């Protein structure tokens, strides 16, 4: 896929459906991770949230990218409680706001949209890189998207790099002590375990990369 190629709303719809399937299938894995440094409900929350995302995306027959991503974000916020619902809901809905008025999006559009998503999440929870949160996977992924857009790489190559960066970022949270969220109450007990939210972001980017041919 060349650097000037764009993803249509229909293609983005199929990508988001794959993302939803991957997150639904990862419920037990994410639950196990959250038992180690949380209260064990993250996987169930993602299962519930992305089941609702799938319903909303499947029923959408339009061609507006803002509406598509907003539906995904609101679906998560509607059924997932606590910080996870707000963070993952905002992850999608803020992308939608940035893609307002678009029926298709190229790499530059998507890189900027994911950048806005990162900024929104950082503002929402006050987290920075190194705090052992979703930001530790999302920030390097966004950097990879922006770099790919600047250098004219293909969508496929860039999202593959972003997925790798997100996975490395999630893996790096193993050596961090949580400074935000419920895991922060565990202090050094959170050492040695990856942040479940960061792993969730890595799974999302991997699913997107798998869907771009």
Residue 40: give its domain's CATH number: 1.25.40.340
- Give the span between the Cα atoms of 132 and 119, in whole angstroms: 16
Task: Name the domain count of the chain.
Answer: 1
Q: What is the pTM of this model?
A: 0.94
In a domain? residue 1? no
Where are the strands (E) in the chain, listed by range?
7-8, 104-105
> What does the pLDDT read at residue 147?
98
Does any domain span residue 117?
yes
Residue 155: the pLDDT is: 97
Instruction: Please check whether residue 171 lies inside any domain of the structure.
Output: yes
d(CA 103, CA 139): 26
Digit-coded pLDDT (tens) for 83-116: 899 999 999 999 999 999 999 999 999 999 999 9
Provide mean pLDDT across the span 5-28.
97
2 located within any domain: no
Cα–Cα distance, 196 to 97 (Å, whole number): 26
User: 156 is in which domain, residue-wise?
Assistant: 7-211
Residues 113-124: tens digit of each pLDDT: 999 999 999 999
Task: Express each pLDDT in 145-201 by its tens digit.
Answer: 999 999 999 999 999 999 999 999 999 999 987 765 555 545 556 677 899 999 999
């Amino acid at each position: 896929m060349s650097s000037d190629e764009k993803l249509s709303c229909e293609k983005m719809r199929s990508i988001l459906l794959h993302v939803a399937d991957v997150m639904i299938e990862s419920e037990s894995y994410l639950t196990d991770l959250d038992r180690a440094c949380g209260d064990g409900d993250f996987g169930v929350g993602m299962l519930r949230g992305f089941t609702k995302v799938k319903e909303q995306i499947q029923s959408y027959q339009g061609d507006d990218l803002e509406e598509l991503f907003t539906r995904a974000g609101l679906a998560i916020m509607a059924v997932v409680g606590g910080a996870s619902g707000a963070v993952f809901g905002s992850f999608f809905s803020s992308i939608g706001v940035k893609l307002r008025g678009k029926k298709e999006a190229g790499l530059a559009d998507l890189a900027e949209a994911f950048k806005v998503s990162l900024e929104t999440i950082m503002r929402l929870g006050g987290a920075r890189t190194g705090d052992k949160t979703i930001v530790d996977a999302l920030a390097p992924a966004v950097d990879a998207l922006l770099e790919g857009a600047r250098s004219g790489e293909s969508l496929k190559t860039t999202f593959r790099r972003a997925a790798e960066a997100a996975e490395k970022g999630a893996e790096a949270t193993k050596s961090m002590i949580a400074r935000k969220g419920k895991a922060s109450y565990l202090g050094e007990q959170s050492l040695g375990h990856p942040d479940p939210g960061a792993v969730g972001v890595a799974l999302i980017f991997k699913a997107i990369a798998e869907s771009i041919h």
